[in-house]
Amino acid sequence: MTDSVDRLRADLVAARFSVTELGVLWGEVAAAALYRGQRIPALRAIDTYRSGPSAGLATLARVFVLGAPAPVGEFGRALPGLTVDGAVELGLVAVEDGLAVPRIDLRPYSFVDALGAGEWWIASDLGELALGHALPEDHVLGVGGASMTLSGLMFQAPVASALDLGTGCGIQALHASRHADRVVATDISDRALELAAFNARLNGVGNIEFRNGSLFSPVAGERFGQIVSNPPFVITPRRDGVPAYEYRDGGMIGDALVEAVVESAARFLASGGVAQLLANWEYRGDGDAFDRVRGWLDTGPAAELDAWVIERDVQDAAEYAETWIRDGGTRPGTAEFDALLAAWLDDFAARGVTSVGFGYVLLRRPEAGAPTLRRLERLHGALGENEAGLGVHLGTAFAAHDWEAGTPDEALLSSRLAAAPDVTEERHFWPGAEGPTAMLLRQGGGFGRTIQAGTALIALVGACDGELTVGAIAAAIADLLEVDAAELTAELLPSVRALIGDGFLVPVA
């Protein structure tokens, strides 16, 4: 098989099978239609390339990305090294009535991380568009919005070992392989592990080990410097007639799967190690879901860990159910859809669930004696600009917390800080007013936070250029405002600490 995969790789390179070239091939209008789940404009666009230098690329796009068959002769010319027989042997296509019929989805995927730009080819099972019907329960998902969110969240500092829990098509393991010496990728699906291993071979990645098993069972007794997981956290009714998709359903009731991962992670993190996972949590009755999440964090082994929980969105119970029923390929307006929606709402009603929150959970085993981080916050809305991913900002934020929490007030006053390069100041005036009615600090990266600040804090941030100490700046501002320096300093210090933790101010060595 290794020789066949090598030949496939060479053919894909020769055909220029890349994100950029596909975009050029079918154009912006067809690309937008594909994003909406419509492939006809793209199929029509590539029909004009059935001969000429882009013929091979058009054929590969037709079969592997759009999920449509192509004449065997055209398909063979697109893969001259692998050949049609080789593609059949690898399980990429089947030959039926003179046509090469796709059996998997294979497409280019591009990204930017702390090491720079990169591109891979990722194989997964055919989607609903190609199948023409709802997904089977053992479907192996390709790269989607959730997986790109998690890869963007990933800390990218070098580690000796990383664990991808529930690897699916292997995309997180591939990302981790760029900064980890060794990666272990687990899944309960043999099919997922087969595709993930194929993707690693196809992209020349050799430091990933694949293991079958549920959650942490395949790595019992081991510890890792990094754990990443897009676990099967989707809340699914436990009843007959409701599909239980392996890629998203962990077989537990409600949000118990997320609770289990959070509570178990402590046993598998090395000192200083970080776990990062996507998650959701139920809002029950009039209660706050974060109260329940705190309970997960403050009991058992998880109480030993730093924790930062970020809620990015909330859906009401009906909207949540509709989202995941459509995700499985069942369309609204059908009797199937209505039956599934009723089952979901019955399940939620049994536990008093009114809505479901989505977000990220970050856990860290702190170094001995380090201050503990407990941060649960809601950050709904747009993010800042994070070209290399949000993970770089999150890693910086953890380091900033450690520095700030370990620096007493006296030492902080003698420290030098600089405003982060992505921070801007914004002032609002009533027409004709001499002074501003509101002053804001905006963060261009990270979570795109906006802080409303008073005159003294705005002046302090503006003066933080890495030259003067915080104490000297506060004293100078007090003198200008004609207020007591000690009182103003005491008032400013908590805000300065918060700005350090959020990345607005950066300690200067």
Report DSSP letters for 319-341, one per residue.
HHHHHHHHHTTPPTTSHHHHHHH
How far apart CA 473 and CA 462 sit, in angstroms, is: 10
Could you say which DSSP state residue 372 is in?
P
Question: Considering the chain, what percentage of its residues have pLDDT values greater than 70?
Answer: 99
How far apart CA 109 and CA 367 sit, in angstroms, is: 36
pLDDT at residue 370 above 80?
A: no
Give the mean pLDDT of 344-357.
95
Distances (CA, A) of 412 to 75, 211, 397, 429, 489: 66, 48, 17, 33, 11
Give the mean pLDDT of 168-178.
97
Q: Cα angle at 46 between 40 and 51, to 5 degrees?
A: 150
Instruction: State which fold the 404-507 domain adopts.
Output: Outer Surface Protein A; domain 3 (3.90.930)
pLDDT at residue 368 above 80?
A: no
> What is 136-365's CATH number?
3.40.50.150
Residue 369 has what pLDDT? Answer: 67
Question: Considering the chain, what percentage of its residues have pLDDT values greater than 90?
Answer: 83
How many CA atoms does the CB half-sphere of 290 hold within 13 Å?
A: 14
**DSSP E strands: which ranges in 285-321?**
306-316
Residue 371 has what pLDDT? Answer: 66
What tens digit of pLDDT does each residue of 29-60 get? Answer: 999 999 888 999 999 999 888 888 999 999 99
How far apart CA 332 and CA 328 sit, in angstroms, is: 12
pLDDT at residue 420 above 80?
A: yes
How far apart CA 135 and CA 326 sit, in angstroms, is: 10
Give the mean pLDDT of 227-249.
89
How far apart CA 449 and CA 426 sit, in angstroms, is: 13
Give the mean pLDDT of 3-23.
96
H/E run at residue 78: helix 72-78
| Residue-wise DSSP of 229-246 | E---B-----STTS---T
Residue written as token pair 């380091």: 399
Of 258, 253, 281, nearest in space to 355 by CA = 281
Most confidently predicted of 160-164, 255-259, 294-298, 363-367: 160-164
- Evaluate whether 284 touches 352 at the Cβ level (below 8 Å): yes
Residue 10: Cβ-neighbour burial (10 angstroms; 0-12, 13-18, 19+): middle
How far apart CA 217 and CA 194 sit, in angstroms, is: 19
Give the mean pLDDT of 147-174.
95
Q: Per-domain residue ranges for the chain?
A: 2-103, 136-365, 404-507
How far apart CA 126 and CA 106 sit, in angstroms, is: 9
- Evaluate whether 326 touches 227 at the Cβ level (below 8 Å): no
| Average per-residue pLDDT for the chain | 93
Residue 129 has what pLDDT? Answer: 80
How far apart CA 471 and CA 414 sit, in angstroms, is: 6
Exposure b/e, 104-139, CB count within 10 A at least 16 = b: bbbbbbebebeeeeeebbbbbbbbbebeeebbeeeb
Which position has the higher pLDDT, 239 or 118? 118
Beta strands 353-364 and 306-316 are antiparallel
H/E run at residue 200: helix 190-202
Residue 9: Cβ-neighbour burial (10 angstroms; 0-12, 13-18, 19+): middle
- Evaluate whether 331 touches 341 at the Cβ level (below 8 Å): no
Give the mean pLDDT of 396-421.
95
Q: SS3 for 284? A: strand
pLDDT at residue 446 above 80?
A: yes
